[in-house]
Amino acid sequence: MSSINKELSSIIDQWVDWLRTQRNYSTHTIMSYLSDLNIFLSYFSKDELCLVDLEKMDIRDFRNFFSQRAQQHIGKSTIAREEAAVRNFFKWLDDNGILQNTAIFQMSVPKLPKNLPRSLDVHTTFDVIAQAQKDCKELWIGVRDMAIFTLLYGCGLRISEALNLNVEDINTTNFLKIHGKGNKDRYVPLLPIVLERIEQYKQCCPYNLSIGTPLFVGARGDRVTPRVIQRKLQKIRAILDLPDNVTPHTLRHSFATHLLAEGSDLRSIQELLGHASLSSTQRYTDVDLEKISQEYQKAFPD
């Protein structure tokens, strides 16, 4: 396994800082990119890797590394992300005049299968939300989980966005300010049913929910973690006989898919979801068309 000299280590730290401050990448993405780059650098068996070594790498070095990753049965999506991280780093080195090596950009980007967002039909979505309140040791826990599931679906939130809310974030303006991925803020409308279920939860919660404290708390009064909600949905999947790929994030996908089916335009859905590019939102048109095709096949079988 390679080590890197102090100069290269310092440059990598500068790249990471740039990802955070200039590109507004999330902590999760930054850590993944840094891990991917370290795996790449570790492939080259040298006592101490330096900038000159990176400058001398040719297309065979890059191909050999990614070929080895494939032989190790690393998933295509993981390899694609690793390649994106390495490309990002070498482009940053070039843009900042540190070194120029265009070999990796001569490689073709691996094509990935098109994964459509998972979504539920409207009736199943409501069944999932209703089930969230059932089979809980304490009534208020069930009311809390129903409020969280309603919020995920009613506002199209990521689970982290919902659980990071504090009490003061829910106000009388009927709009919710969300601090999302990439440190970007967006506003989403709060439907009456969402406000109603959050209020029901607040009324029966045994803990003091005051300004500056988490909105959703667990049995010990601490902020609820995503794992708690993920486990709850695992139980609901078993009860409702749903596939294993149904997760809390599925409620966000269902929110977008149902809006599209009801005629909402892609730009509005993009704003509500907080997508940086319209291409991310356009995947939902494929979901909708796929469902229409399935219904057509049922009506007109071969």
Residue 73 is a catalytic residue: no
Q: In the structure encoding, which two tokens stand for residue 146, read together?
A: 């129903």
Q: Catalytic residue, from 69, 197, 253, 275: name it.
A: 275
Residue 258 is a catalytic residue: no
Rounded CA separation 186/177 (Å): 6
Rounded CA separation 170/58 (Å): 55
Rounded CA separation 61/77 (Å): 21
Q: Catalytic residue, from 69, 144, 158, 253: name it.
A: 158
Rounded CA separation 131/44 (Å): 53
Q: Catalytic residue, from 69, 144, 237, 249: name it.
A: 249
Those residues with Cβ within 8 angstroms of residue 66's Cβ, 6 or more apart along the chain or in another chain: 79, 82, 83, 107
Q: Catalytic residue, from 181, 186, 223, 283: name it.
A: 181
Residue 185's φ and ψ, nearest 5 degrees, are -95, 145
Q: Could you give the count of Cα atoms lying within 13 Å of 148 in the half-sphere of its Cβ?
A: 33
Contact call for residues 92 and 105 (beta carbons, < 8 A):
no
Q: Catalytic residue, from 237, 252, 253, 258: name it.
A: 252
Residue 275 is a catalytic residue: yes
Q: Catalytic residue, from 25, 33, 153, 284: name it.
A: 284
Residue 252 is a catalytic residue: yes
> What are the residue numbers of the active site?
158, 181, 249, 252, 275, 284
